[in-house]
Amino acid sequence: MHFLMYDRFFLSILEVIYVKRDIFSCSKRYSSVAKKFREIMYDENHYELFPQIISKYSNDLIKGLKYSNSKDFYLITPDITSWIIKNQKDFNDEKLFYIFPSVNNSLETDYIFGVEIINDENAEIKILNILIKLLDSLKINFFIDISSVLIWKNLLKDEFSLKIIECIQKKNTNKLKNLIKDEKTKDNIISLLSKRGKVLNYEPFKEIKNKINDKRIIYDPSNFIYNDYYFDLIFEIYSSDGTIIGNGGNYIINGNKSCGFNLSFDNITKIIWSDLNEK
C-alpha cells in the first residue's frame, strides 16, 4: 500500500519535471506543420523570405513590439506585409513565404506563417488556392470569410472614422444609428450588416465564386477588418471549432496589385492536437 502511494507520488513529480523540461515539444509540433507548408510552397515556386527582425519605427509599420535604445525608436517583429510595402522599391513580381516570430506590446508571442504574391493581376485567386491547399494538407476543418474594405470605404465616405469602424466591427447598430448623420448612409450600413452569405453584385466576389467554387468560402460583406494597407478584399480564416487561424487581403504596392495572408502557428497546432486528442 505504502509502496503504491510513494510510487504514485514520485510519478506525479516526474510528470511535472518532464512537462517543465520538455522545451522541444512545441517546436516538434511547429516543425511538422512547417515542413508540410514549406514543401507545398516550394512546389508553388515561392521562395522563403527572411525578413529583418527589428526595423526603425515608422508610422507605416504596424504591430510588433516597440523598443527604444535612447537614440532611436524601433519595432521588433513588425507586421511583414507592412514591412514589405514600406521597403519594396522595385516593380518585380515576387512570390514568397515566410515563417516569422511575432511579439506584440503585451509580450504575447507566436510564429506566423505568411504568403505573399506581389505584382500579379490574379493574386487573390492564386492566394486563396494556396491557402485552401495548405489547410487541406493538415486536414483542418476551416472556413474563409471574404469581405471588402472598399465597399465599406465607398459607403462611409465622409463618415469614415475609427469610432464608426469600431461600431461596424462590433455590429453595434444602436450606436451606429446615433453616430451616423446621413439617413441614407445609415440605412445602407444597417442593410450591409445583414448581408452575410450574399455575393452581392460585386465583381471581385463574383470572380472568386466563378474561379474557386469552394463551399468553405463564405462571402460576408458585413465583416470589416480595418487595416491601413488593405485595398479591397479581406479574408478571415477560422476553424469549425471557433478558432481564428489567420487573415489576409489584397493591397497595392508601387501601384501594383498584390495579395497575401498569414496564419498563426499557435492556433493551427492547437487545432490539430486537440483534434488528435478527441480521436
Interface residue list for other proteins (CB under 8 A): 143, 145, 170-175, 194, 196-197, 218, 220, 238, 240, 242-244
Name the helix (H) or strand (E) containing 12: helix 2-21
- According to DSSP, residue 170 is labeled T
Kindly state the smallest distance separating residue 226's Cβ from other proteins, in Å.
14
CB distance 248 to 111 below 8 Å: no
Nearest to other proteins of 55, 264 (CB atom): 264
Kindly state the smallest distance separating residue 142's Cβ from other proteins, in Å.
11
Kindly state the smallest distance separating residue 136's Cβ from other proteins, in Å.
19
154/157 Cα distance (integer angstroms): 5
Kindly state the smallest distance separating residue 141's Cβ from other proteins, in Å.
11
Nearest to other proteins of 218, 252 (CB atom): 218
Cβ neighbors of 114 (< 8 A, separation 6 or more) are: 80, 81, 97, 98, 99, 100, 260, 261, 262, 263
Nearest to other proteins of 239, 269 (CB atom): 239
Nearest to other proteins of 174, 277 (CB atom): 174
106/120 Cα distance (integer angstroms): 36
Kindly state the smallest distance separating residue 241's Cβ from other proteins, in Å.
9
CB distance 234 to 262 below 8 Å: no
Cβ neighbors of 13 (< 8 A, separation 6 or more) are: none
Nearest to other proteins of 128, 193 (CB atom): 193
CA atoms within 13 A of residue 64's CA, in its CB half-sphere: 26
171/181 Cα distance (integer angstroms): 18
Kindly state the smallest distance separating residue 233's Cβ from other proteins, in Å.
17
Kindly state the smallest distance separating residue 172's Cβ from other proteins, in Å.
5
Nearest to other proteins of 175, 209 (CB atom): 175
Nearest to other proteins of 68, 174 (CB atom): 174
Q: Which residue type occupies 46?
A: H
Sheet strand arrangement including 73-76: 54-56, 73-76, 65-68
Grid coordinates given for 136? 487541406
